[in-house]
Structures are given as structure tokens and as C-alpha cells.
Amino acid sequence: MSTADSLVETINSAIELTVPAAAKMGVRAVEARRGFAVTAVPNEGNGNHFGAIYAGVQFTVAEVLGGAIAAASFDTSAFYPLVKSFDISFKAMARSDLRAEATLDEAEIARIGAEAAERGKSDFVLEAVVTDAAGTVVATSRGVYQLRAIGR
């Protein structure tokens, strides 16, 4: 198993343990590396009363990217993430499996890590795009997260 596969497996285990509702929806990390994460959720079992994927499921597949990016980019034995605020804009009907993707650049990772080490916490913004199976953007999001030092 590659290091990347091991990281994805670790993130999926964390989702199951720390956010069981997301795991029940079928939210999974599918790719993660420093500064980059992709999550996915199936259409099946996540519909609403008019045949689209429920808005809360779309929110969740985008929101968990904050934890996935943190796990891929920072020392999880020293830091943990939390979400402070989250905005989502629905752009099109979501009627198939979904994929959410977000990135953080190296300069931002360095800033966050240094500030969290020095002050015990650091806020960061993560913008995500949620697409359907055809690649259509169904939602965009902007989350404000905080990386916190464990024990501070």
C-alpha cells in the first residue's frame, strides 16, 4: 500500500470515528496529499423529496475537506482542525455521485503551521468545488477552519 493510500485510509477511519453521520451518508476521502484533498459521496441513499441529493449531504462532502486537508498537510499528533464557519452555494441539481475538491498552497500551509505552533491556533480559509459525475459544478463552498495545537 502506498503512503497516499495509507493516508486516505487513515482519513476514512477518522471520518467513521469522529463524524459517524458523514460515514453513514457514504462520505469518503478518495485522494489526499499535502495541500490537496478529494472526497466523494454516492447518490444512492442520499436523495431528497424531489430526486436530488439532499443539501446536507452536499454540505458534508465539502465540509469534511477541512479535516482531510489538515490530516494531509499537518502533523496530526500536534494539531487538529475545527470548522468555525461554512457557506455553501448550490449551483445546479445534484442527481449523481458527487466529488468535492479543495487545495491549500505551500505558502498558506507554512503560515498556518507556524502560527498554530506559535500561538496555539491559526485560522484558514478553504474553498471547495462540488461536481457531479458529469463534471458539472453543483455547489461551491467557503469554510473558515482553525488549526489548533493539541494541549494548548
The DSSP call for residue 65 is H
What integer is the mean pLDDT of 76-91? Answer: 97
- All residues at 6 or more sequence positions from 72 whose CB lies less than 8 Å from its CB, including other chains: 7, 11, 32, 33, 34, 35, 36, 37
Q: What's residue 98's pLDDT? A: 98
What pLDDT score does 57 carry?
A: 98
pLDDT digits (tens, 9 = 90+) for 14-63: 999 999 999 999 999 999 999 999 999 999 999 999 999 999 999 999 99
- Domain chopping of the chain, boundaries: 3-149
Mean pLDDT estimate for the chain: 97
Could you give the CA distance from residue 59 to residue 82 in angstroms, rounded to a whole number?
15
**Fold classified for 3-149:** Thiol Ester Dehydrase; Chain A (3.10.129)
The mean pLDDT of 8-13, rounded to a whole number, is: 97
| Strand, helix or coil for residue 106 | helix
Read off the DSSP letter of residue 53: B
User: What's the pLDDT score for residue 152?
Assistant: 80
Which residues 6+ apart lie within 8 Å of 20 measured at CB? none
User: Looking at the predicted structure, is the pLDDT value of residue 126 above 80?
Assistant: yes
Separation CA 147–CA 85 (nearest Å): 13
Query: What percentage of the chain carries pLDDT values higher than 70?
Result: 100
Strands 98-103 and 28-33: unpaired
Q: Which three cell numbers stand for residue 80?
A: 487538529
Question: pLDDT value at position 1?
Answer: 74
Per-residue pLDDT at 4: 79
